[in-house]
Amino acid sequence: MDRSPVTSPLKRPAPEPQHTGSGAYRLAQRLSQSPSARVYLAQAVANGETVVVKQPASSAATEHEAILLRHLNGKRAPLLLASDDVAGQPALVMERLAGRPLLDLVRDDPQLARSARFRRILDGLAATLAALHAQGIVHGDLKPDHVIVDHDDDVRLIDFSAAAFNARQPPGTGDTAWLTPGFAAPEQFAADSLPDQRSDIFAFGAVAFWAATGRVPPQAGDGIDVRAGGAQLRDAHLPEDLSALILACLQPEPAHRPRGAAMLRDLLAGGASAPPETASARASAPDEVPPTLRVRRRRIATPPQDSAAVGGGGPGRRRNVGRLMLWLFLLALVAGVVTIGVWQGKPLYEKHFKTTWLIDSSGKGDAMSLVEAVARAGDEVTFLLAPGEHVGVVVQDGRYRIQPSESDAAPPVILAGPAGCLSVINARLTVAGLVFRGTGGEGGRACIEQSGGELNILGSLMENLSGPGIVIGGGANARVAESTLVSIGEDAIRIERGSVLELHGTTIEQAGGNAVTVKSGAALTTRGNRITDAKGTGMLFTQGAQARLEGDLIQGSAASALEAASGAQVEARDVTLAASSGAGIFLHGGSRLRMAESRVIDNGLSGLFADGAAQVDMHDSVVTNNGEHGILCLSAQAGRLDRNSIARNGGYGLVLDPATRVDIGDNSLDANEAGPLMDARESPGEDETGGDETDEAGTE
pLDDT recorded at residue 272: 53
HSE at residue 614, side-chain half, CA atoms within 13 A, is 28
CA geometry: angle 40, 41, 47, nearest 5 deg: 135
Report d(CA 659, CA 364) in Å as an integer: 71
Report d(CA 572, CA 558) in Å as an integer: 21
- 238 and 165 together in one domain: yes
Residue 428 lies in a domain: no
Hey, which residues does 629 pair with through a beta bridge? none
Residue 122 lies in a domain: yes
- 64 and 137 together in one domain: no
3-state secondary structure of 133: helix
Query: Taking Cα atoms as reference points, which of 51, 64, 63 lies closest to residue 25?
Result: 51
Query: Taking Cα atoms as reference points, which of 146, 156, 162, 150 lies closest to residue 61?
Result: 162
Report d(CA 410, CA 376) in Å as an integer: 27
Report d(CA 394, CA 145) in Å as an integer: 27
From 95, 123, 138, give the residue that closes a domain: 95
Residue 405 lies in a domain: no
- Write the pLDDT tens digit of every residue in 379-434: 899 999 999 999 888 788 889 999 999 988 999 999 987 668 898 888 899 999 99
The residue range of the domain holding 128 is: 100-296
pLDDT recorded at residue 196: 84
Report d(CA 362, CA 376) in Å as an integer: 18
pLDDT recorded at residue 256: 86
- Going by the DSSP 8-state scheme, the letter that residue 367 receives in this structure is B
Q: Give me the number of domains the chain comprises.
A: 2
pLDDT recorded at residue 431: 97
pLDDT recorded at residue 697: 36
Hey, which residues does 89 pair with through a beta bridge? 86
Query: Taking Cα atoms as reference points, which of 587, 568, 584 lies closest to residue 634?
Result: 587
- 128 and 261 together in one domain: yes
Yes or no: say if 621 and 597 are a contact pair by the CB < 8 Å rule: yes
Residue type, 180: T
Domain CATH number, residue 66: 3.30.200.20
From 263, 296, 329, give the residue that closes a domain: 296
Residue 244 lies in a domain: yes
From 33, 61, 95, give the residue that closes a domain: 95
Cβ neighbour number for residue 356 with a 10 Å cutoff = 12
Residue 682 lies in a domain: no
- Going by the DSSP 8-state scheme, the letter that residue 122 receives in this structure is H
Successive 10-residue mean pLDDT values, the chain, 700 residues: 39 35 75 85 87 89 87 89 82 92 92 91 94 89 94 93 79 76 86 82 94 81 62 80 88 86 84 50 68 71 37 46 58 51 60 89 86 84 94 85 92 84 90 90 78 94 94 93 96 94 97 96 96 97 96 97 96 97 96 97 97 94 98 89 97 94 94 95 50 37
- Angle, helices 240-249 vs 261-269, to 10°: value is 170
Hey, which residues does 429 pair with through a beta bridge? 400, 455
Hey, which residues does 179 pair with through a beta bridge? 293
- 66 and 181 together in one domain: no
- 164 and 132 together in one domain: yes
Report d(CA 278, CA 112) in Å as an integer: 15
Measured over the CA atoms of residue 256, residue 258, residue 260 and residue 261, the dihedral's sign is negative
- 68 and 153 together in one domain: no
- 109 and 202 together in one domain: yes
Listing DSSP states for 171-192 in one string gives TT-SSEEEE-TTTS-GGGGBTT
Phi, psi of 383 (to 5 degrees): -105, 125
Hey, which residues does 223 pair with through a beta bridge? 220
Yes or no: say if 416 and 438 are a contact pair by the CB < 8 Å rule: yes
Measured over the CA atoms of residue 28, residue 29, residue 31 and residue 37, the dihedral's sign is positive
3-state secondary structure of 342: helix
Residue 153 lies in a domain: yes
Strand 523-527 relative to strand 546-550: parallel, antiparallel, unpaired?
parallel
pTM equals: 0.63
Strand 645-647 relative to strand 622-624: parallel, antiparallel, unpaired?
parallel
Q: Mark 491-513 as b/e (b = at least 16 C-beta within 10 Å).
A: bbbbbbbebbbbbbebebbbbbb
Hey, which residues does 220 pair with through a beta bridge? 223
Report d(CA 671, CA 227) in Å as an integer: 95
Yes or no: say if 31 and 9 are a contact pair by the CB < 8 Å rule: no
- 124 and 151 together in one domain: yes
Yes or no: say if 86 and 23 are a contact pair by the CB < 8 Å rule: yes
Report d(CA 61, CA 74) in Å as an integer: 19
Residue 309 lies in a domain: no
- 34 and 175 together in one domain: no
Hey, which residues does 457 pair with through a beta bridge? 431, 480
- 87 and 218 together in one domain: no
Residue type, 202: F
Report d(CA 166, CA 378) in Å as an integer: 11
Domain CATH number, residue 151: 1.10.510.10
- 146 and 230 together in one domain: yes
- 232 and 273 together in one domain: yes
- Going by the DSSP 8-state scheme, the letter that residue 371 receives in this structure is H
Report d(CA 57, CA 82) in Å as an integer: 17
Residue 193 lies in a domain: yes
Phi, psi of 226 (to 5 degrees): -65, -35
